[in-house]
Chain A
Amino acid sequence: MTAANRIWYPRTVPSQPPPEGTFVFLSELIGRPARGASGERLGKVVDFLADASEPAYPKVTALRVKVPSLRGEVKRVEWADVASCEPSGTRLKRGAEALQPLKLQGNEIPLAQDVLDRQIVDTDDAKVERVNDLHLLRARGDLRVAHVDVGFRGLVRRMGWQPAVDALLKRLKPGSPYLRREQFVPWKHVQPLAAGTSKVRLDLARRAMAEVHPSDLAEILEDLDRRERAVLFRDLPIEFAADALEESEPGLQRELLRMVEPSRAADIVEKMQPDDAADMLSELPKEQTAEILAAMDPPDARVVEELLTYDENTAGRMMNTEFLRLQPAMTAQQALSAVRDQAREVAQVHDCFVVQRDRRLLGVLSLRDLLLAAPEAPVDAIMHEHPAPLEPEDRAGKVAELAAKYNLFSLPVERDGKLLGVVTVDDVLEKVLHG
């Protein structure tokens, strides 16, 4: 149930060798004339469509050609109808009959319209970049997308100054990194963000995205413009969305939750740690909080609602309601297997809490105590009293002080002798630093 059980995929994206061939830039091909089989001018090449469902080196499937007319109509030409595609111009195998009405098929993504000059996520470096150019590969009659160019050289090329700048630099500073290095992102690491293109890529890039650390993902969401942010966030797998949301600033959290349906928002909130969820919901407008809570699973919603009754920056709000529970009559061996059973649901497994059936806290013991104890030793013989139990109203500052004084990883929160939850130091640290 918690985000702790997130699976980090090993890197298994196959490093396909590039097919042999020659490279050409998208900026060198667009804006050039398109001619028919007998050399007659049909229009101007304005875009290339690539099949986004191919993870690496997707094929170009069609072209867009702007026909010279008053309204500047754009037509589609299948790649099968293209005889040659060079910076000097594109030649078709047929005449004007190859010009079809405009449409998008399957997972086609228009490169100039939706990738060039736009923001993308580089899933390898976990960074938002702006695309200056696309690096295409010509091989065996196909045109494939190899890299996106996010470097300064790409900008210079787009301005049409590359020959001049290259010549100048070669004379002035031959060793300049500008001349030696291109800043390319391989297409398999590119997550485009234009509406409609992300879904299919996200499914493909799921593994790549899984390697992005949640706090990097939160930073990526922060760096993006609102539209791209919405596209990325809406299609993120629920667990990733929950992780990223936990790491985001309150302002961004509010905006992200507004972008999705209440039911999806509820699914995401359910995946979060209840204390983080309560913190986030308390920052939202009342109606939005109520809407999300109503759409959540009733037991999960109840936990969050209870936390919400405590004030911000108190132990009650910070506490986790899932923690390791042991019964006093257990042996150390039984206790260890109980820990194993519960660990998946619990954020922190350092301390175990021995409780009676009526939720009264009898004592605590660490996992280390359990491991070192004789297997048959009863739990109530190993446990000791907790030095600093808290009231739900205790402020974060006090909690931090107690944790520091007694060197504690976690502190139980009690009311009338009943254990309500456990505050862990990482929660307190965050509050003391940012609260």
Chain B
Amino acid sequence: MADAQARSRWARFAAVMAVIGPGIITANVDNDAGGIATYSQAGADFGYSLLWTLIPITVALIVVQEMTARMGVVTGKGLSDLIRERFGVKATFYVLLALLVANLGNTMAEFIGVAESMEIFGVSRWISVPCVAVIVWVLVVKGTARIVERIFLIACVFYVAYLIAGFLARPDWAEVSAGSLKPTLALTAPALTMVVTLVGTTIAPWMQFYLQSAIVEKGVQTDDYALSRLDVVVGCIVTDVVAFFIVLACGATIFKAGGHIESAKDAAVALRPLAGSWASALFAFGLFNASLFAASILPLSTTYYVCEAFGWESGIDKRREDAPQFYFLYTAMIVVGAGLVLLPGLPLLKILLLSQTANGVLLPFILVFMLLLAGDERLMGRYRNGPVLTAIAWLVTIALIVLTALMFWFTLR
């Protein structure tokens, strides 16, 4: 009897584990090297003054991710497939081309993160970057990507490092709450660019593609949707709490000391005298963890979307002769992404932030496609977007377009 009970509890736990994961993993991959650099920069340059933006960003993130998850559950198809089937070859080509370029930038950002975090521990980038590139390639081609994903679910715990680093920085909590609750925004090119970048790094377009495929892959069906939604919402909140503490740590130290940082590594180094060597080491470790796992997920998932949308054979279970496009694209993403990082004299932080800004600019276009799909009755049936959600989602999209336009206006003026 007790055995049967234990068994059914185990069965229930297994059923929960069969559904959760994609949301939490996606949200945490989101705090990748680009994310950490962006949040550090936001804290170092603007103190607590942009903390408030994380609240509407979180709401928008939840709205968008929920929609993505629902599409995955209801249609059982990836986002690139849906775009291809509904909007045809041309739209798909341009969307995926933009995504490929942005994701190549993001992959570079991950390798920059690897290089910089290891340099804090005294490892040259000429060793760390090629090693990680080879590890990532082998892990995936040897078919252990699923295991990597499971390890990553555990690795998500290490993001606590940033929470501790935030506390070790001893912020002034009164100022923090003022910064988080009182919306202020200077209409200047740097501030607007930072906001677009914050949005772009938090609600990255590739995440929508990744989340939807991860949910499809898990085989989540409509009966389990409530659980899947919880997974997504919890993931979104966790990701932004981590982001909040990174901004906080850098705001309490580097911004207060009037410093300036050029990279996420600078942030970790700058934290040392201001918040102690533990905070600095935790910061660096978190960066390496995030970069490594995002680097193992981004190139693979990008390759999948492209191949599936164009009907090319894809999958690590296919032989190389049978899936030439798949292996070529995948290898090229890693080789180019890691190779460019090693080119001497490249402005790495600029590239890193630029890739996140590119995410922010691309996002509204992806959102328009998503909204059209998620509101389609033939596709979504009774799970299509309701009027309230549609209104909020369009509002987010329009706000993003306005913000991007303002950014370009103030930058180019």
Contact = CB atoms under 8 A, between A and B. Distances in A.
A287 B259 CA distance: 63
Interface of A: 116-119, 129-132, 150, 155, 158-160, 225-227, 229, 251, 255, 258, 285-286
Contacts of B221: 258
Nearest to A194: B85
Given A129-B311, A130-B311, A226-B77, A251 B219 contact: yes
A227 B378 CA distance: 13
Contacts of B219: 226, 251, 255
Interface of B: 11, 15, 75-78, 81, 84-85, 88-90, 93, 216, 219, 221, 310-311
A228 to B, nearest CB: 9
Contact of A226 (B15, B90, B216): B216
B230 to A, nearest CB: 20
Contact of B90 (A131, A159, A251, A285): A159
Nearest to B76: A226
Contacts of B310: 130, 155
A160 B216 CA distance: 32
Nearest to B86: A117
Contacts of A158: 88-90
SS class of chain A's interface: helix, strand, loop or mixed? mixed
A225 B93 CA distance: 20
A117 B77 contact: no
Contacts of B15: 285
Contacts of B93: 159
Contacts of B11: 285-286
A197 to B, nearest CB: 14
A118 B76 contact: no
A118 B75 contact: no
Contact of B85 (A117, A159, A251, A285): A117
A-B interface, 9 closest residue pairs, ranked by CB to CB distance from nearest: A226-B76, A130-B311, A158-B89, A225-B77, A117-B85, A117-B84, A225-B76, A227-B76, A255-B219
Contacts of A258: 221
Contacts of A226: 75-77, 216, 219
Contact of A150 (B76, B78, B216, B311): B311
Contacts of A130: 84, 310-311
Contacts of A229: 76
B164 to A, nearest CB: 39
A226 B90 CA distance: 25
Contacts of B311: 119, 129-132, 150
Contacts of B78: 225
A184 B343 CA distance: 45
B100 to A, nearest CB: 15
